[in-house]
């Protein structure tokens, strides 16, 4: 087990119970699933924050353009908004 955060429960470095990894056991976890989960965990921690999440829910009466232009990646966001409306 690899812990990518504070290891408050002491899981880092432990191994799964052999019963979980026994292919003869119908309730075992597949190796493919464990590999996929590990890859996703590594990718999520390597990427960091990634792209910003844009606010799409503007309350009635708010200046949507001002909100877009004041936010992160204003130019790219504006281009995406225009392209989406022209489709």
Structure confidence at residue 51 (pLDDT): 66
Domain identity same for 2 and 27: yes
Q: Is the whole model's pTM more than 0.85, yes or no?
A: no
pLDDT in tens, the chain (87 residues): 888 888 999 999 998 888 888 888 888 888 888 899 888 888 877 766 666 667 777 788 888 888 888 877 888 888 888 888 887
Measured torsion, CA atoms of residues 23, 27, 30, 35, in degrees rounded to the nearest 10: -130
Are 16 and 1 contacting, i.e. CB atoms less than 8 angstroms apart? yes
Tens of pLDDT, residues 11-28: 999 988 888 888 888 888
Structure confidence at residue 74 (pLDDT): 86
Other CB atoms within 10 A of residue 80 CB: 13
Domain identity same for 10 and 46: yes
Q: How far apart are CA 23 and CA 16, in angstroms?
A: 13
Domain identity same for 37 and 2: yes
* Domain range for 37: 1-50
């Amino acid at each position: 087990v690899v812990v990518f955060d504070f290891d408050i429960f002491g899981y880092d470095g432990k191994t799964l119970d052999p019963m979980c990894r026994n292919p003869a056991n119908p309730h075992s976890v597949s190796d493919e699933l464990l590999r996929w989960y590990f890859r996703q965990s590594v990718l999520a921690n390597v990427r960091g924050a990634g792209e910003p999440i844009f606010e799409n829910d503007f309350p009635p009466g708010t200046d949507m353009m001002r909100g877009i232009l004041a936010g992160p990646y204003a130019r790219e966001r504006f281009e995406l908004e225009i392209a989406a409306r022209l489709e």
